[in-house]
């Protein structure tokens, strides 16, 4: 019983002292407008997707025309 009390006391002290550094953190800085522009990369991705789509449509039409002949 005495051993459990000592172990519990040591564990409690460890938890108390480990929580103190967590509360000592500085506050987070205010948001300074961290909006990132997405125009350049997004435009390139849209253009690449459109080009790939056009290529696939042309391949499908070419394949369908060969089957019809």
Q: Is the pTM of this model over 0.85?
A: no
Q: How far apart are CA 49 and CA 8, in angstroms?
A: 62
Q: How far apart are CA 52 and CA 50, in angstroms?
A: 5
Max mean pLDDT range (19-23, 24-28, 29-33, 54-58): 54-58
Number of residues written out for the chain: 69
Q: How far apart are CA 59 and CA 49, in angstroms?
A: 15
Q: How confident is the model at residue 64 (pLDDT cuts 50, 70, 90)?
A: confident
Q: How far is CA 21 from the centre of its chain?
A: 28
Tokens of 68: 């019809």
């Amino acid at each position: 019983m005495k051993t459990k009390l000592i172990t519990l006391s040591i564990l409690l002290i460890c938890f108390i002292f480990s929580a103190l550094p967590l509360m000592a953190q500085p506050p987070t800085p205010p948001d300074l407008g961290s909006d990132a522009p997405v125009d350049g990369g997004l435009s390139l991705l849209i253009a690449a997707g459109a080009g790939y789509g056009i290529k696939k449509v042309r391949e499908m039409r070419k394949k369908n025309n060969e089957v019809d002949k």
